[in-house]
Amino acid sequence: MQGVRNRTAVLGTGEVPWDSPVVPADDPGLRGDGFFETLLVHGGTPPRVVRLREHLDRFERSAAAFGLPLDRSAWEHLVAGITDDLPAGTEAVLRLTASAGTCTATLRPLPDGVRRGRDGVHVVTLARGTTTVPAAPWLLTAAKTSSYAVNSAALREARHRGADDALFLDAAGEVLEAPTANLLWRSEGRWHTPPQRDRDVLPGTTLAAVTAGFGVHETPCRPDELLRSDGAWLLSSLRGAAPVRTLDGNPLPVDRAFTATLRRTALQD
């Protein structure tokens, strides 16, 4: 069976050769002045883009924060074109990126490391240092921006420490989020996630989908409290619901039944 091939498309132009230059050297997105969305695609006839509507909703909110127009129907057409021949039984990563200079979509095979991470991740805590976010919308805290240097550095540090992922802590030592995922945990029969408002935590489409079927409480939490929980998961578009196996080297319980239920919801529409 044919696998997933790398593809690139430009808004208003359509698909271009994968190795062709599509972003000018002075594009503002290259210095972090842009925004993006990352989506999971299941191959088939037709291919299925997981939670496309929800991702485009957030894409529109990001565009508004940047003061840029966004033609939703044009992006939908671009997505349909770039995913049209994805073989059944395959998974791919679709990334939509926009700036004042360039708007592109790319399609790549799902990395093996992402697939392995669905079975569980080892996590370390890292200080991000923030407490509350001031009333300054120009800071773009609600947008998924391409200013990802801190997130990438956190993942490098996690790997340096022998872990798979990181969990950010604020200045008070309370849990925020992972570089590319939201946190969900279960304690005494109740579901929890860290508070988002004024905490520089980006609301996740996967978190919203998974918790739509049950009540979830926004609860401040410290790492030692997570260790006493019934289980914790990192929720993201590509891994779905990845159980946290260890936190700073300390084991957490992994409930396989809950994980299977969360994963089914997280990786589907």
Whole-number percent of the chain with pLDDT over 70 = 94
Q: In a 10 Å sphere around its CB, with 0-12 CB exposed, 13-18 middle and 19+ buried, how is residue 28 labelled?
A: middle
pLDDT at 262: 93
Task: Tell me the per-residue pLDDT of 72-82, one tens digit each, with 9 for 90 and over.
Answer: 999 999 999 99
Span 38-46, mean pLDDT?
Answer: 96
DSSP three-state, residue 65:
helix
Q: What is the CATH number of domain 115-266?
A: 3.20.10.10
pLDDT in tens, 23-33: 999 999 999 99
In the chain, list all ranges with CATH 3.30.470.10: 7-110
| For residues 189-212, average pLDDT | 89
The amino acid present at 92, given as its one-letter code, is A
Rounded to the nearest angstrom, the gap between the alpha carbon of residue 175 and the centroid of all alpha carbons in its chain is 17
CA distance 51 to 57: 10
**CATH 3.20.10.10 domain extents, the chain:** 115-266
Domain 7-110 falls under CATH 2.60.40.1930: no
Q: pLDDT category, 34, cuts 50, 70, 90?
A: very high
CA–CA separation, 269 and 55 (whole Å): 12
What type of residue is 85?
Answer: D
What is the model's pLDDT at position 202? 87
pTM recorded for the entire structure:
0.93
3-state secondary structure of 260: helix
